[in-house]
Amino acid sequence: KVSFTKTQITDINEVYNGSNPFMNEIKAIEKYEERHHVDILKPTIFPFEVTHVDTHQDKDALVIRYRNDNLHGLFQLKVTKTSHSLEEYPSNNVVSYTLRDGTKAFYQSNYIPAKQLLFQRGKIQYTIGISQSTKKNVAVSNLLQIANSMISN
């Protein structure tokens, strides 16, 4: 809503901005998929309502941070192209789980900033984490639910 006189705007009131916080996610994933010729899995379940999405890419990695500013919430997805198997990952301080489709996943409960779950599909390794400042008692079931929700285009 815009209020104005004959010569100037006196007030602008935003009724609905229509923005979609997932536009940054979509653009970053498309860019990464084109560059690396892969299909990236995307979460369809989140630990909170997402109000903002920030992304960062470097040579082999894509990091997507889903935020809720009201909760100071942070859920992060890191996608890395790798030539190594996740089975080669050091197994100390990790607990092994199996996703619905049979994919092996490793839960790291002792990682300080966030509880995180790692899994690999093909040559793409996924790390998902929920910041402990978002939710103090992040249960592995929260991360498994998100991982099991991840789909490709």
pLDDT digits (tens, 9 = 90+) for 50-85: 888 999 998 889 999 998 888 777 889 999 998 888
d(CA 68, CA 70): 6
Residues of the chain with pLDDT under 70: 1-4, 6, 8-19, 88-92, 112-113, 134-138, 152-153
> CB of 85 within 8 A of CB of 65?
no
- Tokens 């994933």 belong to 29
pTM of the complete model: 0.81
